[in-house]
Structure 1
Amino acid sequence: MDKPLIVGVDGSEPSLRALDWAADEAALHGVPLRVVHASRWEWYEGREPSFGINGSSVQDLSERIAASAVERALRRTDSVKATAEVLSEDPGLALVRLSREADAVVVGSHGRGELTELLLGSVGLSVAAHAVSPVIVVRGREENLEGCFRTVVVGVGDFEDGSGDGSEGGSEEVSPAVEFAFREAQSLASSVTVVHAWRCPARELPDFPVMVHDEHQERAAAQVDKAVRKATAAHPGVKVRREIVEGHARTVLLHASRTADLLVVGARRRKGHVGMQLGPVNHAVLHHAACPVAVVPHT
């Protein structure tokens, strides 16, 4: 049986946008859609005025939010099987736990909590940092959400913070991020833009030789070819464009996201590391990308 696509909802507008995106994605891949609403009683405590809020009313509200989300998904597409689940636990912890049994987890860019002023909500950030499955944070402009560009962008290269695809220079194995990007592009009948950013600090010297610049450029091109060779062969119908740019990875990826329907980046899951497992490039695209961002974990 196919693993479900799990989407977290809380009734907020960003979560409903994520729900719509997830419903389309589940229908596209022919997998079940599992709508999850998780909340803790503590979320409601200490908020004034309370107006007699109690556990029963919170449960009723949670069930209404989940049921309404399922109805919305079914109205959007009748080709998906959608179910609802209400959990009395921290939303971030719940979605991370459920990611072990998910094809992917979809979240909105904001939520209802006290941190809604953040560019990316605390739940989305936590899930992207710790989930076992790919996590898609649905954000960006309407044209990027509606698939207008027919392009999936994937960042490749062994970026120090693990924000690229995670491919090592000497390996030709298909990384999870690259495979995810090609699979999405094939399903969407879209192209893949493979982005790799490289830098040579010595270039700033006044006597920097052009030959060294060319060597760096050629090395970067060879790394990209190696990273996508098997994926290209496995998905012959997917048109591939290479974008090899000298510059900061976050700047290059954010620029590419402007004309993309989805931006895919990798994230290392370091064993024994209990903190946030996202590097600065991951953070930059999750907070500022103009399109939805898929964070694909690897070890």
Structure 2
Amino acid sequence: MERPVVVGVDGSDGSFAALDWAVEEAARLRLPLRVVYASLWEHYEGSMPSFSSQRPVEEVAAQNIVASSEQRARQLSPDLRVNAVTVPDDPLDALVEESRGAATLVTGSSGRGAVKEFLLGSVSLAVAGRADCPVVVVRGEEHNIKGMSNRVVVGVGEADEAASAVRFALREAEARGCELRAVRAWRAPQQPTDPLIMLDSAARAYGEQAVAVLDEVLEEAVAEHPRVSVQRAVLEGPAHRVLLGSAVDADLLVLGATRRQGQFGLQLGRVSHTTLHRAPCPVAVVPHR
């Protein structure tokens, strides 16, 4: 059974941007699209007696959002298989549940106006930390969202965590017909552990170690996608700053996150949080067990 691309909608501008992105993603990967609007109004409405023959405002709004979302998706991609539904559940719980059967889960960013780069909806952030499948938060500048840079960037962290992210990024780059830039950030300690070692020698050692990790992670995965042109970048500096800089000319920034055995949710550290809030392009968080 094919796993669909799932997108959560709520009628906001951010969710329509996510819908447009999800339509293109599903069309690229030749997967069905599932559009989900989640609301708890049915529970409250069903538990109270109704003294009016008119439909509840919430029901009308939900049906309008679902219908307009489905119509928009079919207009953007007439051949796409689209299923649009209303789910009577809390939006976070509904999307996490949807992630168990999804290829990718897409959400929007709620940022508005001059401070939009610093804002991310609580649902989007929580979904990114709890979903079972890769989550894409659609945010950033218009040319990045529309895929005009012809580049996917993947942040390569520790080898065990990065493997799933690299494979996801390679699949994305291949489907888009664009290049992949694999970025590994490194930092030397402020003081060398041995006073006899010069600072530049210590920095060189840390840089070489970063190159080795990058090569290890990429070796097998790249062989599975020979048509993808892969650029390697080993850059000195804090990882979140390095990745934000690399994402300026990217259509998608891909990060890995680890779910430890028996743990609820993923380990989203400073790098993931910062990029989800501030990246100039859509961000994918790929879980790795």
Q: When the two structures are superposed, what TM-score results if normalisation uses the length of structure 2?
A: 0.89
CA distance in 2, matches of 1:118, 1:208: 40
Task: Name the counterpart of 1:36.
Answer: 36
What amino acid is the match of 1:227? V
Per-residue CA deviation, residues 251-288 of structure 1 (Å, 9 max, x unaligned), is 00011110000000011113333467311110000000
RMSD value over aligned CA atoms? Answer: 2.6
1:68-107 → structure 2 map (5 Å cutoff):
68-107=68-107
Specify which of 141, 163, 188 is matched with residue 200 of structure 1. 188
What amino acid is the match of 1:216? Y
Specify which of 210, 221, 225 is matched with residue 211 of structure 2. 221
CA distance in 2, matches of 1:270, 1:146: 34
Once the two structures are TM-superposed, the CA of residue 165 in structure 1 deviates from its matched residue by 7.0
**Structure 1: gaps of 5 or more residues:** 46-51, 159-163, 168-174
Task: Name the counterpart of 1:141.
Answer: 141
| Matching of residue 23 in structure 1 with residue 23 in structure 2 | yes
CA distance in 1, matches of 2:64, 2:132: 29
Once the two structures are TM-superposed, the CA of residue 118 in structure 1 deviates from its matched residue by 6.6
Task: Name the counterpart of 2:48.
Answer: none
Per-residue CA deviation, residues 23-53 of structure 1 (Å, 9 max, x unaligned), is 01101111000000001239999xxxxxx9x
Q: How many residues align?
A: 277
CA distance 1:91–1:78, change in 2 (3 Å): same
Specify which of 276, 281, 286 is matched with residue 286 of structure 1. 276
What amino acid is the match of 1:25? E
CA distance in 1, matches of 2:160, 2:119: 24
Specify which of 161, 166, 189 is matched with residue 166 of structure 1. 161
Per-residue CA deviation, residues 211-248 of structure 1 (Å, 9 max, x unaligned), is 22111111111110111011211111111111101110
CA distance in 2, matches of 1:107, 1:165: 26
Structure with a larger share of its residues in helix:
2
Task: Name the counterpart of 2:131.
Answer: 131
Once the two structures are TM-superposed, the CA of residue 59 in structure 1 deviates from its matched residue by 1.8
Q: Which moved more, 1:196-205 or 1:14-23?
A: 196-205
CA distance in 1, matches of 2:44, 2:191: 55
CA distance 1:44–1:198, change in 2 (3 Å): farther
Task: Name the counterpart of 1:109.
Answer: 109
Per-residue CA deviation, residues 143-197 of structure 1 (Å, 9 max, x unaligned), is 1011111100001121xxxxx8714xxxxxxx11100000000000010000101
CA distance in 2, matches of 1:244, 1:118: 27
Q: Which moved more, 1:275-284 or 1:212-221?
A: 275-284
Task: Name the counterpart of 1:49.
Answer: none
Once the two structures are TM-superposed, the CA of residue 55 in structure 1 deviates from its matched residue by 7.5
CA distance 1:146–1:97, change in 2 (3 Å): same
Checking the alignment, whether the CA contact within 8 Å between 2:192 and 2:202 is kept in structure 1 is no
CA distance in 2, matches of 1:268, 1:41: 34
**Structure 2: gaps of 5 or more residues:** 46-51
